[in-house]
Each structure stands twice: as C-alpha cells, then as structure tokens.
Amino acid sequence: MLVQALGKIGQTLVVLFIVSIATFGLLKLAPGDPVQIMLGSEYSQEAYESLTAEMGLDRSFLVQYADWAINFVQGDWGTSFVARTDIFTYGFKEALPVTLTLAFFSLSFAILIGVPLGVLSAVKKDTAFDAGSAVFALTGTAFPSFLLGILLIWFFGVRLGWFPVMGYVSPWEEFWTGIYHMILPGLTLSTYFIAMITRLTRASLIEVLEEPYIAAARARGEPSWRVIWVHGVRNIAMPLVTILGLQLGTLLQGTVLTETVFNLPGIGQMLTSAVLGREYGVVQAGVIMTALLFIGVNLLVDLSYPILDPRLRDRK
C-alpha cells in the first residue's frame, strides 16, 4: 500500500511539473514584449539589451522556468500592477480563502441536501417524489449557474429583500454575517452538485439495496432506517467521494462564475480582471492555484480509498 501511495504521489508530481511548465511556457507566448512595455516607446539598443539581461530573459527557457519555479515555491510571485500588491498576497492570502470558503459552503449544501434527497428517491423509487426529484436533477445539472444566481438575486434579494445580494464577509471572522452572505452564492453554486449527488446517490443506493448484506440486515430484524442509513449509505461513500473529487474542477470553475455574479473577491474575479488588464503573471498564479487544488484533492481522494473501503487495505 505504501508503494502504491508513493507511486501515486510520484505521478502527481509529474503532472504538476507538466502543468507548471505548460502554464509558464504558454504565457510566454502572450503578445507583447515585456521589455518593450517597461521601456516605453523610445529606448536605445543598449538599454533594451541591459534590461533584457537584468530581467533574465536572455537565458534559456529551462533556466528561466527553474528560476520562476524556485521563486514561486518561495512565495515570490511578482507584482500585480492593477491591484498594486504582490501577487502572492493578492492571490494566495486574499483571493484563495474567498474561493475556498465559497467552495466549502457549496459542497456542504450539496452533501446535506443531495444525499438525503437521493436516498429518499431511491427508497421511494418509481413514485411521484422520485419523478419530481429526477426532473429537478436533470434541470439542475443543465441550468447555467450564472443565470440561476441572477434569478436568486432578483427574487430573494430584490423582490423579497431577504438576503444581501453582494459583498463578502468572511465567516471565519464574523460567523453569522458571513454565513448570511454565503447563502445565495452557496445555493447558486451548489444547485448543480445537489442535482448530481441526488442522481448518483439514487443510482448507487438502488444497486446497494439489492446486495445480500442488506437482505441479511433486514433478516436480522434491524429497523429499516438503520438498514438504509447505516448499511446502505456507508457503502455508497466510495463512488460519492470519487465523483466529488473528479467534479472539483466543475466546482472551481463554478466559483469563477458565482464570484462574478455576487461580486466576491475570489480567484475568479482575480482571473477575469487579470485577463482584461493583460496581467499574465496574475493569470499564471490563478491557473496554477486551481491546478494545485484539483491535483491535491484528487491525490487525497485516491489515498482515502483504503480508509473508506476496508477491503482495499489488505491488498499488498
């Protein structure tokens, strides 16, 4: 098992290397010569060459990459001219926590609502409730989240005035106000996942409920809530965790849109304004943070299988 885990970690490192070198190389292709931009319209050939050398742009691609990577690991990500701060503070300390908070709340909503909904439709299979939840699941997975966000703002924010429509308050500092501000964005982002988890829970639970150990539990006279919620739901944890890990990318790209709808200062807003301001360093930082998150979580998912499924622990 240790060998397997090390192999996984090795693979992950290779993927990280490819992602980082590709991002670095790709944004080198971006239009505009950085030296020319810094020098302005009039400059001498010597000034051009000396600045090129000073910025290290005369060295080979790999040396430049290595240099950049070392700086990146040390938290030296360069400066953002639009936000007037260094990118590490801007991206990692300010934007990332907002995105993670939003992702955390959405995922919690999704699990807290999606799993019970899926279990209920599996138990009440082929009833009106099941049909209703199937329609909801289908609509929920196909409905564009940014439109849903605007509709929620219009209905709950403007018409009813129940919730604040914009702004971010960190729930880690002011707990209740923060949560209050997170409800609409969290719902917007989580609808897709509620629908997806409902579908998945229903499908896997129907399969699990036909297993012999469920019949055995019933035969022992265990109450049906225990049969379903303990014996049943425990056994759908694996597919659920796998899919959630794989869908993390969808979650992250959802945060980009939700942040724009609700004006939350997260990675999404950072990326959008960086693209509009042509700040390639910031785009690079945002892209790599997203990739790191995705890769990291999927490594955790892979490594968590033996914890979730005891049968996997014994294999070498």
Partner 1 sequence: MTAQASPLATKAPAPATNPPAGPPKSKRRGRRSIFVRRPFFTVSLIVALAYLLAAIFAPYVAPYDPVLQSYDAMMQPPTAAHPMGTDSYGQDILSRTIFGARFALIIGFFSVIIGAVGGLVIGLAAGLSGGWVEWGLMRLIDSILALPSLILAVAFIAILGQGVDKVVIAVGLSMIGPFSRTVRADVMRVRVQGFVEAARLMSIPSLQVVWRHVLPNVIFPLAVQVTIRISEAILVSSSLSFLGIGVTPPTPDWGLMIAEGRDFVSFAPWMSAMPGFALALLLIALSIVGDGIREEFDPKGRRGA
Write out the residues near partner 1 by the rule CB under 8 A. 11, 14-15, 18-19, 22-23, 26-27, 29-31, 138-139, 141-144, 146-147, 150-151, 153-154, 158, 249-250, 252-253, 256-257, 260-261, 268, 271-272, 274-276, 278, 280, 283, 286-287, 290-291, 294-295
Minimum CB distance to partner 1, residue 253 (Å): 4
Residue 188 C-beta: closest distance to partner 1, Å? 13
- 128-158 burial: b if 16+ Cβ within 10 Å, else e: eebeebeebbeebeeeebeebbbebbeebbe
Q: How far is the CB of 113 from partner 1 (least distance, A)?
A: 21
Q: State how far Cα 191 lies from the chain centre.
A: 15
| Residue among 196 and 227 whose Cβ is closer to partner 1 | 196
The phi-psi region of residue 315 (left if phi > 0; otherwise alpha if psi is between -120 and 50; otherwise beta) is beta
In terms of CB distance, is 189 or 217 closer to partner 1? 189
Instruction: Give the contacts of 241 (CB within 8 A, at least 6 positions apart).
Output: 301, 304, 308
Cα torsion 6, 7, 9, 14 to 10°: value is 140
Residue number with CB closer to partner 1 (107 or 271): 271
Smallest gap from Cβ 28 to partner 1, in A, equals: 10
27 or 63: whose CB is closer to partner 1? 27
Instruction: Supply 96's token pair.
Output: 């990332």
Report in angstroms how near the CB of residue 156 gets to partner 1 at its nearest.
Answer: 12
Closest approach, Cβ 137 to partner 1, in A, equals 11
Nearer to partner 1 by C-beta: 71 or 253? 253
d(CA 129, CA 62): 59
Is 236 or 283 the residue whose CB approaches partner 1 more closely? 283
From the CB of 34, what's the least distance to partner 1, in Å? 14
CA distance 131 to 97: 39
Q: Which is nearer to partner 1, 235 or 290 (CB)?
A: 290
